[in-house]
Amino acid sequence: MADAAERMKTMRERRRSRGLRELRLVVPDDRSEAVRREIAAQSARLDPQDEEEAMAWIEAVSEFDNDASG
């Protein structure tokens, strides 16, 4: 049996041949208390008016999905 590195290489080659590529994301760990505090602090600094405008825009542009039938 091929070792783990060889199996991963083969898997990546198969994916590339199908037009796919691997993407790795590194994101803050929300299980960390420090990260949770920072998220809370950033959320507290948000301007409610700006957030309402953003939500209104999101709702407006997403409505076209409901009218796709014509």
Q: In the chain, how many domains are there?
A: 1
Q: For the segment 10-51, what is each residue's pLDDT rounded down to a tens digit? A: 999 999 999 998 899 999 999 999 999 999 999 999 999 999
Q: Rounded CA gap, 42 and 38, in Å?
A: 6
User: Residue 6 pLDDT > 50, yes or no?
Assistant: yes
Q: Rounded CA gap, 29 and 36, in Å?
A: 8
pLDDT the model gives residue 11: 93
Domain housing 42: 28-63
Query: Is 43 among the domain residues?
Result: yes
Query: Is 5 among the domain residues?
Result: no
Q: Rounded CA gap, 49 and 55, in Å?
A: 10
**What does the H/E/C string look like for the chain?**
CCCHHHHHHHHHHHHHHCCCCCCCCCCCCCCCHHHHHHHHHHHHCCCHHHHHHHHHHHHHHHHHHHHCCC
